[in-house]
Amino acid sequence: MTKFEPNSVIIRLMNYNWQHRNWPNFKYEADRFDAMASQFREISGQSTGVLLGLSEQAQEESLITLLVVELLKTSAIEGEMLSRGDLISSIKKNLGFASSAVAVKDKRSEGIAELMVQSRRGFAEELSETTLFDWHNLLMRGSHGVKVGKWRTHAEPMQIVSGAMGRETVHFEAPPSERVPAEMQKFIAWFNATGPKGAQPLTNPILRSAVAHLYFESIHPFEDGNGRIGRFIAEKVLSQNVGRPVLLSLSSVIEADKKKYYAALQKASQSLEIDDWIVYFGDAVLQAQRAFVQTIYFSIKKSHFFDQKKSLLNNRQQRVVSRMLAEGEDEFTGGINARKYQAIAKVSKATATRDLQDLVEKQILVSKGGGRSTNYQVNLEES
């Protein structure tokens, strides 16, 4: 939790990396991470190759699934819930994909979707203060009470804290606001100098991405949204290295074990020696890559299944099964019940029950649970 703490009695755990005399000269054994870089490039090539082998519709579906999951998870890390439907509509609109003309109600979803597409399209561009301010404006769309598109200026310390009032534990404290403009100028210069076309290129994508994320989070330049923008920066690094927008959802891995992420970040903030942080971050990147490869194979399996079974379904059943298959793999496992079937197909309870039973008899759905808790899942094992 980010918190401004002007007056309370606080337990301070450590000095911070930005207080060290050699800040921001991070120390690490570069050769130690060569194998991670090789794995990253190998999986990146594999996922791109498999994706390009899909039909245009399947490629679109896989990409949208990836982007939606990334935006849902990066917001969930910060305790913010977004509308999946609004995200899908906004992403399709920004990518120029065909979409029904549904008004987007959630301005936060609209803004972060635009940010996602904008950052991916401009992955090769140098980073600038203007870019970061534009990102922050988009990220904070629909938010209130936050200084938007500007560095923080408050006099109170910017802290990550936990614990009871008056006995808080400070996990991290960022540099004072008065230092932020100069610190960010140095960060931006470092980012561009270490890029593929920079004066001092850092060619290991895992290494540069891990350092960039930690460096940015250590400064914590905005009043809010630092974690999300820090993850966009990390993915920008990875995209620059492979020469195309990366196919992974880093936030999904982080959100799955937030405690591990914050523990690694806290430890890294205490010192300029960051080998352990790079190990953690590199593992997270590789996990995210492998997860997207599985997402692609899941899309192939779904498409094959629907092609096989479509002729066995009436129009209502086609609509419902298609909707179930459109969900991402995580959401897909939740299945459907009679009430949801009624809402999607716009039919009576009796018709919904009859249609569901027919789908079970045809082994297209399998039932789970019993009584009122009965739900149905697509039987992909039959494909």
Residue 83 neighbours by CB under 8 Å, 6+ apart: 105, 106, 109
| Domain boundary residue, one of 246, 268, 296 | 296
Q: How far is CA 121 from CA 216, 218, 229, 257, in A?
A: 21, 27, 16, 29
Q: How confident is the model at residue 223 (pLDDT cuts 50, 70, 90)?
A: very high
256: enclosing H helix or E strand: helix 250-256
Residue with tokens 């990409």: 63
The pair of three-digit structure tokens given for residue 89, joined into one six-digit string: 């509509």
Q: What is this structure's pTM?
A: 0.82
Please report, rounded to a whole number, the percentage of residues in the chain having pLDDT higher than 70.
Answer: 90
State residue 27 phi and psi, 5-degree precision: -115, 135
Do 245 and 173 share a structural domain?
A: yes
Lowest-confidence pick of 16-30, 99-113, 257-271: 99-113
CATH number at residue 225: 1.10.3290.10
Q: What is the distance between the alpha carbons of residues 340 and 149, in angstroms, rounded to a whole number?
A: 41
State residue 208 phi and psi, 5-degree precision: -65, -40
Q: Has residue 247 been placed in a domain?
A: yes
Beta bridge partners of 162: 169
164: domain range? 2-296
Do 285 and 147 share a structural domain?
A: yes
pLDDT value of residue 4: 40
Residue 166 neighbours by CB under 8 Å, 6+ apart: 8, 9
Task: Give yes or no for a contact between 103 and 85, defined as CB atoms under 8 angstroms apart.
Answer: no
CATH number at residue 327: 1.10.10.10
Q: Has residue 32 been placed in a domain?
A: yes
The pair of three-digit structure tokens given for residue 211, joined into one six-digit string: 């350092």
| Domain boundary residue, one of 239, 267, 296 | 296
Q: Has residue 289 been placed in a domain?
A: yes
Q: What is the distance between the alpha carbons of residues 58 and 322, in angstroms, rounded to a whole number?
A: 13
Please report, rounded to a whole number, the percentage of residues in the chain having pLDDT higher than 90.
Answer: 55
Count of structural domains within the chain? 2
Q: How confident is the model at residue 1 (pLDDT cuts 50, 70, 90)?
A: very low
- Per the document, the length of the chain is 383
Do 182 and 52 share a structural domain?
A: yes
Q: What is the distance between the alpha carbons of residues 163 and 212, in angstroms, rounded to a whole number?
A: 29
Q: How confident is the model at residue 10 (pLDDT cuts 50, 70, 90)?
A: very low
More reliable by pLDDT, 282 or 308: 282
Q: Has residue 370 been placed in a domain?
A: yes
Q: Has residue 50 been placed in a domain?
A: yes
Do 286 and 328 share a structural domain?
A: no
Q: What is the distance between the alpha carbons of residues 10 and 15, in angstroms, rounded to a whole number?
A: 14
Task: Give yes or no for a contact between 330 and 65, defined as CB atoms under 8 angstroms apart.
Answer: no
pLDDT value of residue 19: 95
DSSP state, residue 171: E
Q: Which of 231, 25, 232 is nearest to 125 (CA)?
A: 232
Q: How confident is the model at residue 293 (pLDDT cuts 50, 70, 90)?
A: confident
pLDDT value of residue 162: 60
Lowest-confidence pick of 19-33, 95-109, 223-237, 284-298: 95-109
Return the SS3 of 151: coil
Q: Has residue 376 been placed in a domain?
A: yes
More reliable by pLDDT, 329 or 212: 212
Do 360 and 327 share a structural domain?
A: yes
pLDDT value of residue 95: 82
| Domain boundary residue, one of 296, 323, 357 | 296
Q: What is the distance between the alpha carbons of residues 117 and 161, in angstroms, rounded to a whole number?
A: 33
State residue 163 phi and psi, 5-degree precision: 110, 170
The answer to whether the peptide bond before residue 221 is cis (omega within 30 degrees of 0) is: no
pLDDT value of residue 129: 98
Residue 381 neighbours by CB under 8 Å, 6+ apart: none
Position 66: which residue type?
A: L
Q: How confident is the model at residue 65 (pLDDT cuts 50, 70, 90)?
A: confident
Do 195 and 322 share a structural domain?
A: no
pLDDT value of residue 327: 63
Q: Is the per-residue pLDDT at 242 higher than 70?
A: yes
pLDDT digits (tens, 9 = 90+) for 327-365: 655 555 567 888 889 999 999 999 999 999 999 999 999
The mean pLDDT value of the chain amounts to 87
Q: Is the per-residue pLDDT at 20 higher than 50?
A: yes
pLDDT value of residue 171: 77
Q: What is the distance between the alpha carbons of residues 174 and 256, in angstroms, rounded to a whole number?
A: 25
Do 359 and 233 share a structural domain?
A: no
Q: Has residue 306 been placed in a domain?
A: no
State residue 275 phi and psi, 5-degree precision: -60, -45
Residue 33 neighbours by CB under 8 Å, 6+ apart: 204, 206, 207, 278, 282
Do 173 and 65 share a structural domain?
A: yes
Do 250 and 378 share a structural domain?
A: no
Do 142 and 20 share a structural domain?
A: yes
Please state the rounded mean pLDDT for residues 44-58: 86
Do 152 and 50 share a structural domain?
A: yes
Do 355 and 261 share a structural domain?
A: no
pLDDT digits (tens, 9 = 90+) for 124-159: 999 999 999 999 999 999 888 889 999 999 998 898
Q: Has residue 303 been placed in a domain?
A: no
Task: Give yes or no for a contact between 338 and 327, defined as CB atoms under 8 angstroms apart.
Answer: no
Task: Give yes or no for a contact between 116 and 70, defined as CB atoms under 8 angstroms apart.
Answer: yes
